[in-house]
Amino acid sequence: MPEDTNKTATLYRMVMPDHTCPYGLKSKDMLKRNGYEVEDHHLKTRDETEAFMQAHDVETTPQTFIDGERIGGHDDLRIFLGIDPPKEEQSDTSYRPVIAIFSVCALLALGLAWRQFGTILTWQSLQWFISLSMTVLAIQKLQDVEQFSTMFLNYDLLAQRWVPYGKIYPYGEALAGILMTAGMLTWISAPVALFIGTVGAVSVIKAVYIDKRELKCACVGGDTNVPLGFISLTENLMMMLMGLWMGLRALGA
């Protein structure tokens, strides 16, 4: 947070009968949490908002002013307060979606193990972690199969040879993950997980580690900034190992 401010900020934001700007609310909250007294000016009509933007030569609201100087909109305010790095230092890369999915699935697996066995450190915990991760990752892809399949075509070797595979993949991953979580129909889930995991792992290794291409990963859907590489390879290796493990267990039984 910047030093030597008078701790007073002026905020202009849209507050209309049918619309309250969420970024205006977030800007006001950020300012208050950082110790500023906020002079909160409401732009109550479209005409009033347009006149404000024209007068200050800006294209969006909210707008924050401190010491008579315009700080800018919501994103600019985050940078000014030190919440985000300067734009030139910001990266498009983000691992947040993957971290969130794997963390929640790990906690779910541990919770299920505790409920079922009274302990969290079991082989079943690991199996549930993998199968739940597969299922949640499939949900991310199924939100927009068309967009996922388009991104998937950038690197998946089978999809490049047979385009419909890109749309089938998330359904196969979901099916295998659900069946593995339930511990049923292993004769279906194990081969599916082994097949799509193997093809995926080979595709990622070729694209990233052999061809040295810099691509976005489609593992959490088609609209993310997760880079293709270790994360996607881990997802595929987990499916391979899960398919092998459960297949061998079924044959042994």
Task: Centre a 10 Å sphere on the Cβ of residue 113 and count the other Cβ atoms it contains.
Answer: 21
- Among 20, 55, 89, the domain-final residue is 89
Residue 143 is assigned to a structural domain of this protein: yes
Cβ-in-10-Å burial (0-12, 13-18, 19+) of 72 comes to middle
Verify that 150 and 202 share a domain, yes or no.
yes
Residue 2 located in a structural domain: no
Q: Quote the Cα angle for 217-223-72, to 5°.
A: 120
* C-alpha torsion 31→34→39→42, nearest 10: 20
> What digits encode the pLDDT tens for the residues 134-193?
999 999 899 889 988 888 888 889 999 999 999 999 999 999 999 999 988 989 999 999
- Residue at 3 is within a domain: no
In this predicted structure, what is the pLDDT of residue 95? 73
Total domains in the fold of the chain: 2
Is the model's pLDDT at 5 over the cut of 80?
Answer: no
pLDDT at 84 over 80: no
42 lies in the same domain as 123: no
**Residue 1 domain-assigned (yes or no):** no
47 and 130 share a domain? no
In the DSSP assignment, the letter for residue 69 is E
What is the pLDDT, as a whole number, of residue 89? 55
Domain that holds residue 70: 8-89
Omega prior to 62 cis, within 30 of 0:
yes
d(CA 24, CA 43): 11
Pair (67, 84) in one structural domain: yes
Q: CA–CA separation, 226 vs 188, rounded Å?
A: 30
Q: Are residues 138 and 244 in the same domain?
A: yes
For residues 145 and 37, state if they share a domain.
no
Shared-domain flag, residues 152 and 78: no
Q: pTM, whole model, 2 decimals?
A: 0.75
160, 53: one domain? no
Residues 69 and 189 reside in one and the same domain:
no
Phi-psi domain of 15 (left: phi exceeds 0; alpha: psi -120 through 50; beta: other) = beta
Residue 15 burial by CB count (10 A; 0-12/13-18/19+): exposed, middle or buried? middle
Q: Do 71 and 107 have their domain in common? A: no
Domain boundary pick from 35, 55, 89: 89
Strand partners, 43: 14
**pLDDT band, residue 195 (cuts 50/70/90):** very high
Residue 199 located in a structural domain: yes
State the CATH number of the domain containing residue 21.
Answer: 3.40.30.10
